[in-house]
Amino acid sequence: AVRDGDDWVLNGSKLFITSAPYAGVFVVWAVTDPLARKGKGISCFLVEPGTPGMVIGKAEEKMGQHASSTNEILFQDCRISGSQLMGELNKGFKVAVVELSGGRIGIGSLALGIGQAAIDAASRYALERKQFDRPIADFQAIQWKIADVYTELEAARLLLMNASFKKEQGVAFGREASMAKLFASEAANRACYEAMQIYGGYGYSTDYPIERYARDVRLTSIYEGTSEIQRLIIAKDILATLK
């Protein structure tokens, strides 16, 4: 972003913007001081859709989460008023960190919902599907899967509630948000895998919802920071408290 009188002129692009065609406002982080050291010189702006110079690109063709559009956003000499600055000039990185942590609680919750739907459906299926003249839910191997998945999802739910509580209390919650997002997304991926195993071949069929859950859940361990990034954040925060 370059200042021009009382205005700012934005140039640049960002991939993978969720629900871009439906957004009522865009929160844009831009470099406003290119000479500043790392983590500084970034400011946050509010940009309304339809602003001249802002272009919503084509929708990505994704493996899953088809109910949500994902697009590239381009800024080409996009002029905005100085009043559209959100927060303080060159201090937008702090806003970004808080927003990312909040977003991780959201993605973890989304993952939890998908995983819960998958294992709920699989458990009901196990009560209906019969082999050797009895429901497959009677078999120990199926019961173990159900028990493990429900236990992991309940643990994920408690991690998410803890992170949400800390956020509402106005205290630091970055580590807790990363822990919750990491565990919930990976537990939900395992839940969908085990649900598909319970369904057997039918789990791979579009006649049942499991294949959609499996496709939708995969992204939860990637966006808002991959599982690997969450582990780095958690470890860095823990080690910093021990020095």
Please give the positions annotated as active site: 224
Q: Which residues contact 157 (CB under 8 A, 6 or more apart)?
A: 112, 184
Q: Which residues contact 19 (CB under 8 A, 6 or more apart)?
A: 68, 69
Handedness of CA 106, 111, 114, 117 (dihedral sign): negative
Structure-block tokens of residue 198 = 């319970």
In the 8-state DSSP scheme, what is residue 12? E
Cα distance between residue 142 and residue 132, in whole Å: 14
Q: Which residues contact 5 (CB under 8 A, 6 or more apart)?
A: none
Structure-block tokens of residue 5 = 């009188």
Nearest residue to 117 via CA among 150, 86, 81:
150
Nearest residue to 196 via CA among 220, 219, 221, 216:
216
Phi, psi values for residue 87, rounded to 5°:
80, -155
Phi, psi values for residue 186, rounded to 5°:
-75, -35
